[in-house]
């Protein structure tokens, strides 16, 4: 069997490549759905204003997203592949609804710029995570602990509203999710069980990996947008 450039690759390598491509298809599909829903909402700004004006509805959707993420991450192996697919796509769609609120805050050009910067950063770090021979486990453990600290600091700052803490957590978020992109990509290479090839289990493993990369991308995008985004007048 040969890969790109005509170089021979083993059956295991071919299977690994096929699996990671399926992960990226799911992740890209989720991002496309999120973006499509957000753009549809942006074309109807009155719907965004109605959403943000109703805190019960807005925060209810956010809670539903959190439950979907934790439910999918914790119970994906107990779900059917169809259920896992619907939960993932449903979460991506809900995220598009809530993320549409950024169009009321930032200009469309700065949102587009932040997206392309995020895409380039994500692609570079994911490629590094895929190709590097260095074990990133210790880095991943450190970044996970840093992420917990980031969440706690961000939550606390909802009450303190300190601009210094805001900017520290924003720049820290860029560093954390940039590193997690490489770590999660490397980790995904170990998700596939060879005996699961072509089964529902493989699909669920791909969705699980796609969710991790999707979350890295979205959070990295939001932090970059906060740094370089130009606000609406």
User: DSSP code of 230?
Assistant: P
| Distance separating alpha carbons of residues 84 and 77, to the nearest angstrom | 9
Domain residue ranges of the chain, discontinuous segments joined by +: 7-228
Does the pLDDT at position 166 exceed 80? Answer: yes
Average pLDDT, the chain: 91
Q: Residue 194 and residue 93: Cα distance in Å, rounded?
A: 32
Token pair for 115:
């997206």
Min mean pLDDT across 71-85, 120-134, 181-195 is at 181-195
What CA–CA distances, in Å, run from 198 to 1, 12, 101, 113? 19, 14, 39, 38
Name the least confident of 16-30, 60-74, 160-174, 196-210. 196-210
The DSSP line for 1-58 is: -B-GGG-B--HHHHHHHHHHHHHHHHHHHHHHHHHHHHHHHHTSHHHHHHHHT-HHHH
Per-residue pLDDT tens for 63-106? Answer: 999 999 999 999 998 999 999 999 999 999 999 999 999 999 99
């Amino acid at each position: 069997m040969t890969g790109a450039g005509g170089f021979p690759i083993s059956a295991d390598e071919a299977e690994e490549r096929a699996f990671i491509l399926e992960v990226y298809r799911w992740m890209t599909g989720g991002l496309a759905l999120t973006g499509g829903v957000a753009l549809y909402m942006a074309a109807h700004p009155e719907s965004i204003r109605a959403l943000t004006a109703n805190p019960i509805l807005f925060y209810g959707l956010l809670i539903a997203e959190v439950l979907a993420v934790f439910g999918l991450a914790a119970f994906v192996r107990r779900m059917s592949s169809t259920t896992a697919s619907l939960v993932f796509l449903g979460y991506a769609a809900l995220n598009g609804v809530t993320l549409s609120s950024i169009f009321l805050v930032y200009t469309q050009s700065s949102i587009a710029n932040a997206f392309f910067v995020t895409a380039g950063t994500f692609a570079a770090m994911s490629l590094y995570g895929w190709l590097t021979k260095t074990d990133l486990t210790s880095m991943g453990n450190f970044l996970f602990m840093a992420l917990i600290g980031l969440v706690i600091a961000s939550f606390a700052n909802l009450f303190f509203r300190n601009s210094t803490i805001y900017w520290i957590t924003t720049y820290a978020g860029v560093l954390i999710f940039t590193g997690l992109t490489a770590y999660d990509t490397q980790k995904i290479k170990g998700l596939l069980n060879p005996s699961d090839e072509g089964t529902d289990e493989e699909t669920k493993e791909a969705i699980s990996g796609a969710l991790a990369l999707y979350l890295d991308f979205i959070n990295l995008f939001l932090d970059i947008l906060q740094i370089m985004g130009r606000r609406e007048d």
